[in-house]
Amino acid sequence: MIRLNVPYMNRRDLLALPVAGIWAALSPIALRSSEPKVSTPLYNDLTIQEEIALGRKFGETYEKDIEILHIHPVDSYLSGIVTKLAQASQQPSWPFAVKLVNLAAVNANAIPGGLIYVNRGLLEFVDEESEMVGAIAHEIGHVVARHTTNRLTRAFIARKVFQRVKDNLLKNNDVIAKIIESLGGAAGMLMELKYSREAETQADLLGFYEMRRADWDPNGMLKFFSLVHKAQGKQSASEVFLSDHPAIADRERVIQRELASVTITKPFRSQNMQFRAMKAALKRLPPAPRSRH
């Protein structure tokens, strides 16, 4: 089946494709000009309670391999943003939270159930609050769509440990931690769990509409992509983001199309004083490490 580099096609484009390519082009995301409706694949039969428990146990294991920064004003600022975006998401009742990781890489990770790990490098990379919010909204989109949970579930099924994972998720033991370590550790698993182009597009669109409902300028997501696009080819921490995510130009086109399809009448939310204070607080710290070790 043909994999397309652009998310939208006109009639002439479709007629030029072979039959198999037409079916690929007619995916729900390809033709949708509105917010995606999330569905869970049949192989992921975790309940929401089990998914939240998996996120908690996975996070505990992940935090053994990274350094979490505790800067109260920054934590409070980021937590407020995540809370507002989460309340505007399709899963407002999930226990969303955010933690700041002391790494220079421009990246963030979404953990099952609602925990978002934001690298310090991402916060230092952005120039405006809306750009940062766009990146965080994208990660919340991954949580809402259960993308990380789906990928972890497939990894557990492939290694024939999924039933053992399920049997121990709601128990107070270290079985899950041992399974995760046997599969390369939480950090290693996150690096291996690459999202598909379709999953990235879905997370982008979910994040776009979260921003819109939470009254942040959804242009911020496009601005973030533009920043990353400009960084292509440079030796910088942004290369981690570029290597972990599919073609940034394609994602820019998706958001440009979405911006053209909606009308925004409310005034945009802005917390520029808090944003500048956060940037100033990070500048006072020693340089962030470029790797976990």
> Going by C-beta distance under 8 Å and a sequence separation of 6 or more, which residues neighbour residue 277?
73, 77
pTM: 0.84
Mean pLDDT confidence for 215-227: 93
Q: What integer pLDDT is reported at residue 292 of this predicted model?
A: 73
Alpha helix ranges (H) inside 36-128: 48-62, 72-87, 120-125
**How many Cα atoms within 13 Å fall on the side-chain side of residue 196?**
10
As a whole-number percent, the residues of the chain with pLDDT over 70 amount to 84
pLDDT at 10 over 70: no
Grade residue 293 by pLDDT with cuts at 50, 70 and 90: low
- The answer to whether 122 touches 139, Cβ cutoff 8 Å, is no
Q: Is the pLDDT of residue 275 over 70?
A: yes
pLDDT at 24 over 60: no
- 36-59: average pLDDT: 95
The pair phi, psi for residue 287, each rounded to 5°, is: -55, 140
More confident residue, 132 or 1: 132
Give the model's pLDDT for residue 266. Answer: 74
- The total number of residues shown for the chain amounts to 293
Q: In angstroms, rounded to a whole number, what is the distance separating the alpha carbons of residues 243 and 251?
A: 14
DSSP code of residue 74 = H
Q: What is the pLDDT of residue 6?
A: 32
Separation CA 53–CA 48 (nearest Å): 9
User: What is the C-alpha to C-alpha distance for residues 78 and 83, in angstroms, rounded to an integer?
Assistant: 9
130-182 pLDDT tens trace = 999 999 999 999 999 999 999 999 999 999 999 999 999 999 999 999 999 99
- Mean confidence (pLDDT) of the chain: 85
Closest by CA to 212, choosing from 197, 201, 226, 222, is: 222
Structure-token match 């533009």, residue found = 226
Q: Say if residue 45's pLDDT is above 60.
A: yes
Quick one: tokens of 255?
């958001």
Mean pLDDT for the stretch of residues 116-137:
97
Average pLDDT rounded to a whole number, residues 41-64: 96
Asked if residues 205 and 7 have their Cβ atoms less than 8 Å apart, the reply is no
Given a cut of 60, is residue 23 above it in pLDDT?
no
Q: Is 87 helix (H, G, I), strand (E, B) or coil?
A: helix
